[in-house]
Structure 1
Amino acid sequence: MKNIFYLLFIIFFVACSNNDEIKKNPNIPDYNFNTGSLINTDLPQFSQLKFANNYITLYDSFGVNGIVLYYLGGEQYVAYELTDPNHTPNSCSTLTVEGIIATCSCDDGNSYEILGGLGREGTTGEYTLKPYFTETSGSIIRVFNN
């Protein structure tokens, strides 16, 4: 039941989003990247993405401090930057992921829900997680920002 709630929330959030209303985040540079065919669910290190409600993190070469890729089910994936959107990139702004929560190690302890990218109660700042594009083709999942 909880999974259905999250899926409905994501669908509602995406359906109601208007790109004209999204504020450009001055804290996170807009790097172009493309995972290409790296993420292949037939490989052991990515096989958990064959099952809904699982995720992987890639901290090298993608985004500013890395990306998190979460599998909602079917062919629906969401990907976000692993930099706290309410800090300029620094030693404490890299987010760590546990379950569906991404948290920074800065003194304010900002945390965000991967399902929707919204800040949790007590999070300071006006920005949500920076989303990236995803595309699937068979067992290949591509995450990109270009």
Structure 2
Amino acid sequence: MKQFWAIVLLAVILSCSSDSSNRNPYLQEVRFRFELNLNLPLYNDLNNIGNPVYVGNNGVGTRGAFVIKSSLNTFYAFEASCPNHTPNNCSTMTIDGQNVVCGCEGYTYSLFTGQQLDRPDDGNRYYDLLFYNATQSGNTVIISN
């Protein structure tokens, strides 16, 4: 009988999920890799701290990505589609200084933290920007997921 309960306990332990991630139900996590050459005029703003750039190339995220340099060798990249609803004709956000704004509801997000700055206090669940990896290698910034 002890073996039976040991097997049941082992099955319960193995069936429990340790995934504590907070997946966004609106955005798919698309696999991609894209290189930004900082010598090109298109990405020249990334040579200065706090100047975001929109990368709207096909195959970069769902609706493109926003990239910003936050310190000497640190870059952040975020999905350009608003994280609080499914992608549609108004969900590609626009740059407003060092923030991005959703065209659907007007929600504002920081490009330094990815956090929603004007989260409503209505009891609903809201998501921050979907983060992408951004690493610098010489004069190239590689964004990927």
When the two structures are superposed, what TM-score results if normalisation uses the length of structure 1? 0.78
Counting matched residue pairs gives 123
Q: Please provide the CA RMSD for this pair.
A: 1.5
Q: Deviations over 1:69-96 (max 9, x none)?
A: 0001211000000111110111111111
3-state SS of 2:33 partner: coil
- CA distance in structure 1 between the partners assigned to 2:94 and 2:82 by the alignment: 10
Q: 2:119·2:126 contact (CA, 8 Å) conserved in 1?
A: no
Aligned to 1:101: 99
Paired residue type of 1:143 = I
Aligned to 1:17: none
Aligned residues with identical type, % of pairs: 28
Q: Which has the larger radius of gyration?
A: 2
- CA distance in structure 2 between the partners assigned to 1:121 and 1:52 by the alignment: 24
3-state SS of 1:35 partner: strand
Aligned to 1:142: 142
Paired residue type of 2:64 = G
| Structure 1: gaps (5+ residues) | 1-19
Cα distance, 1:134 vs structure 2: 0.9
Cα distance, 1:131 vs structure 2: 0.3
Cα distance, 1:125 vs structure 2: 4.1
When the two structures are superposed, what TM-score results if normalisation uses the length of structure 2? 0.78
- CA distance in structure 1 between the partners assigned to 2:72 and 2:40 by the alignment: 19
